[in-house]
Amino acid sequence: MNRPLLPIGVFDSGVGGLTVLHECLISLPAEDFVYLGDSGHFPYGTKSAGELRDRAQLIAGALIERGVKMLVIACNSATAAAGDEIRKLGVEAGVPVVTVVGPEAEIAASISGNGRVGVLATPATVASGAYHRALEDLGRPLTVTEVAAPDLAPIIQHGPTFDEEVLETVRGYCEPLRKAEVDTLILGCTHYPLVAPMLQRMLGRDVNLVTAGHAIAAAIQRELASRDELAAERSEGDYRFLVTGDVDSFVEVGTRFLQLPLAGRAEKFEI
């Protein structure tokens, strides 16, 4: 059944998924989007798998009930903990589900020259083994080095200031990746593209940084085209935000992530 007037639903633990939404707004400008930022329960990356699974399923159900034609899990920790369960919810509701992890793994495996791939992610994502499994499933022999970064997403979420202390924190996360001589690094959290220049400087310009945005936008386009649900006959769609935490703070920080205005488009959402 065609649902061309429904928006695409996107959710993340906070503002990090706006790096994915940004690419979607560029690649799919005619589509409407509703983004749920669960900043009231941030961070996800240090929560248990059970907590994440329950929370992610609750949010996915709320967005499906609200009315979306597709659901995008723009959060690596939520994908790792609850991706399979949310896909089942989508099948039951007739709503396709697109997640991070898989698309990034495919890109990393295809572009790595020396077969040494790094993953920088939250503790929850690393502990899940989601990237390791996704890379193994591609059938190419790869050496995978995973680094858990418990402090990085909160640093990015809470402020625009990057001082010497932040530099030292990031440098510490990069050290095992440098020692492993990775030539490709998956940024396994949607917050991390905001510090991509810092990571590139520390790892070297020849290291490929893989982010979720382009891959997710392409996956969305393919899926909607296959279902004949791509929006058409207009140049720009709408985008709106549901926020479980402080709305003003989300708008202030989120504007930096999205690089488009959020003011007047965000509302408080209790769940």
Q: In what order do the strands lie in the sheet with 208-210?
A: 143-148, 116-121, 184-188, 208-210
Torsion region of 76: left, alpha or beta (phi above 0 gives left; psi -120 to 50 gives alpha): alpha
24 labelled catalytic: no
> Cα–Cα distance between 241 and 252 in angstroms, integer?
13
Per-residue DSSP letter, 34: E
The active-site residue, picked from 189, 194, 251, 253, is 189
174 labelled catalytic: no
Q: Which two tokens stand for residue 228?
A: 């004949």
The active-site residue, picked from 75, 107, 187, 215, is 75
Following DSSP, what letter does each residue of 91-148 receive, concatenated? HHHT--EEESSHHHHHHHHHH-SSSEEEEEE-HHHHHHTHHHHHHHTTT---EEEEEE
Q: Decide if 78 contacts 97 (C-beta within 8 A).
A: no
> Cα–Cα distance between 46 and 30 in angstroms, integer?
36
End-to-end, the C-alpha distance of the chain in Å comes to 29
Residues tagged active-site? 75, 189
